Amino acid sequence: MKIIAERFAGRRAVVTGASAGIGRATALRLAAEGARVGLIARRREPLDEVAREIQAKGGEALVLVADGSVESEIAAAMDRAAKEWGGLDIIVSNAGIELLGQDDRVDRLDRAIWDKLITTNLTGQFLACKHGARHLLAAGGGAIVCLGSNCAYLGMATNEPAYSASKGGVLAMMKVMAIDYARLGIRVNMVIPGFIDTPMNAPVMKDTKELAYWSNQIPLGRPGTADECAAAILWLASDEASYCIGTTLVIDGGQASI
Ligand SMILES: NC(=O)c1ccc[n+]([C@@H]2O[C@H](COP(=O)([O-])OP(=O)(O)OC[C@H]3O[C@@H](n4cnc5c(N)ncnc54)[C@H](O)[C@@H]3O)[C@@H](O)[C@H]2O)c1
pLDDT band with cut points at 50, 70 and 90 for residue 2: low
Tell me how far the alpha carbon of residue 183 lies from the centroid of ligand 1, in angstroms.
30
181 included as an active-site residue: no
Question: Is 150 contained in some domain?
Answer: yes
For residue 159, CA distances in Å to 125, 165, 229 come to: 23, 12, 25
256 inside domain: no
Q: Is the CB–ligand 1 distance for residue 166 below 6 Å?
A: no
CB 89 near ligand 1, within 6 Å: no
CATH code at position 31: 3.40.50.720
Spatial CA neighbour of 143 closest among 80, 106, 185, 111: 185
Does some domain include residue 89? Answer: yes
Tell me the pLDDT tens digit for each residue of 164-187. 999 999 999 999 999 999 999 999
d(CA 242, CA 185): 10
Residue nearest (by alpha carbon) to ligand 1 atom 41: 96
The finding on whether 230 has its CB within 6 A of some atom of ligand 1 is no
- Asked whether residue 3 carries a pLDDT value surpassing 80, the answer given is no
pLDDT at 53 over 90: yes
Q: Is the pLDDT of residue 1 over 70?
A: no
pLDDT of residue 6: 81
Please work out whether the CB of residue 136 comes within 6 Å of at least one atom of ligand 1. no
The pLDDT of residue 210 is 94
Query: Hey, which of 40, 74, 97 would you mutate to test ligand 1's pocket, going by the most ligand atoms within 8 Å of its Cβ?
Result: 97
- The reply to whether 5 falls in a domain is no
C-alpha–C-alpha distance, residues 142 and 181, integer Å? 10
Which of 16, 22, 120, 150 for mutating ligand 1's site (highest number of atoms within 8 Å of CB)? 22
d(CA 93, CA 37): 13
- Residue 133 inside a domain? The answer is yes
Q: What is the DSSP string of 169-230?
A: HHHHHHHHHHHHTGGGTEEEEEEEE-SEESGGGHHHHH-HHHHHHHHHTSTTSS-EEHHHHH
- Count of the separate structural domains present in the chain: 1
For every residue of 40-82, DSSP letters joined together read EES-HHHHHHHHHHHHHTT-EEEEEE--TT-HHHHHHHHHHHH
By DSSP bridging, strand 196-197 and strand 224-225 are parallel
What confidence tens digit (pLDDT) does each residue in 24-38 have?
999 999 999 999 999
**Does residue 4 carry a pLDDT above 70?**
no
- pLDDT digits over 100-155, tens only? 999 999 999 999 999 999 999 999 999 999 999 999 999 999 999 999 999 999 99
Structure confidence by residue, pLDDT tens digits, 235-257: 999 999 999 999 999 999 999 99
Task: Kindly state if the Cβ of 41 falls inside 6 Å of ligand 1.
Answer: yes
Q: 81 lies in a domain?
A: yes
pLDDT band at 46 (very low <50, low <70, confident <90, very high): very high
Question: Per the residue annotation, which of 153, 163, 181, 213 is the catalytic one?
Answer: 163
- Give distance in angstroms: CA of 17 to centre of ligand 1: 6
Closest atom of ligand 1 to 150 CA is 6
The answer to whether residue 4 is domain-embedded is no
Residue 98, classed as helix, strand or coil, is coil
Is 95 close to ligand 1, i.e. is its CB under 6 Å away?
A: yes
**DSSP 8-state secondary structure symbol assigned to residue 121:** I
Residue 97 CA to ligand 1 center (angstroms) comes to 5
Give a yes or no: residue 58 inside a domain: yes
- Decide whether any atom of ligand 1 lies within 6 Å of the 232 Cβ: no
Of 181, 152, 167, the closest CA to residue 244 belongs to 181
Contacts of 24 (CB under 8 A, 6+ apart): 18, 50, 226
What is the Cα–Cα distance from 219 to 114, expressed in whole angstroms?
32
Domain that holds residue 219: 12-251
Atom number, ligand 1, closest to the C-alpha of residue 42: 33
Q: Output the average pLDDT for the chain.
A: 97
Is the torsion defined by CA of 64, 35, 172, 154 positive or negative? Answer: negative
Determine what percent of the chain is predicted with pLDDT higher than 90.
98
